[in-house]
Amino acid sequence: MTALRLVVFDVDGTLVDSQGDILASMAMAFEAVGATPPSRKEVLGIVGLSLDVAMPRLAPDLDRDTHYAMVDAYKASYMTLRAKSGAAQSSPMYPGARDVLETLSSRDGILLGIATGKSRRGLDKLLEGHGLEKMFVTEQVADFHPSKPHPSMLQAALSETGIAQEDAVMIGDTSYDMDMAKAAGMRGIGVAWGYHKPEALSAANRIIDRFDVLPHALDDIWKD
């Protein structure tokens, strides 16, 4: 009998490239409170964190109420941009992502999950836009968990699926993803095409630079 295994994906920077809307919405959030927007590098450096954690990191000199206002402005801007072009266009999937998801989901004993800093509403819109509503058996979002790299999202995914830590792997593009996996006792595969440089993914068990090699990387990691 094939053992059940779980592959959990980050979203932004891993499955989809949403940096255009992220950068524009962050600029809008800062402008809404009369602050100077951070650089592209600074913004992409916090992708993956929940917004309530990201804003204080980007604007440590502003007070809590201002951070809350920035979060609201960011969400409003992001929703507006997504509505104009549609989720599939504003957050296109990376080359090979859909094919690999379909390949993995067709394998006996493989379950797919998500652990993202997105809200429930944001993830739902994204999955609907790409026609992926039934692809994932567990979906962990920022509304119900501490921000990455806290292991809460992955602990919940393991609990929901009943899969052991050693039979689960986290796939992500940021240090927060890999640190979260390590904290949850899971292995992690970092992807080189996202928002953190590969050298920042020090907690990853391995790093891949193309989506199509992921199934083989998973086979290898479960042999170890």
Residue tagged active-site, from 12, 173, 177, 179: 12
CB neighbour class for 186 (10 Å; exposed up to 12, middle 13-18, buried from 19): buried
Contact indicator for 25, 65 with CB cutoff of 8 Å: no
Per-residue tokens: 32: 């809404």
Residue 179 bears catalytic tag: no
Per-residue tokens: 143: 């509304």
Residue 10 bears catalytic tag: yes
Residue tagged active-site, from 10, 21, 177, 179: 10
What DSSP string runs through 85-124? H-HHHHSPBPTTHHHHHHHHHTSTTEEEEEE-SS-HHHHH
Residues with a known catalytic role: 10, 12
